[in-house]
Amino acid sequence: MAVFVSDRGAELLARVDGTVAEQQGVIGPAFGRERTEQLMRDLESLVEALDYAEPRH
């Protein structure tokens, strides 16, 4: 995610970081450590695969 360096960008980044931390705090207890770690690995693999996929027109 690209964020422009500005007050508005800094505010957006702070909100996004807060939301991510909140979601991680909920996911861990709900799924357990092992399943949460697997979910994170799967999501990282998905993002990596999408980064290398050819753009569609």
**Rounded to an integer, what distance in angstroms lies between the CA atom of residue 11 and that of residue 4?**
11
> What's the confidence (pLDDT) of residue 34?
93
Q: Return the SS3 of 56.
A: coil
**Rounded to an integer, what distance in angstroms lies between the CA atom of residue 31 and that of residue 56?**
35
Local mean pLDDT, 10-residue blocks, the chain (57 residues): 67 84 86 90 90 71
> What's the confidence (pLDDT) of residue 35?
92
> What's the confidence (pLDDT) of residue 46?
92
Q: Find out whether 5 and 12 touch, Cβ atoms under 8 Å.
A: no
> Which residue's structure tokens are 């964020």?
3
> What's the confidence (pLDDT) of residue 42?
94
Q: pTM score > 0.75 for this model?
A: no
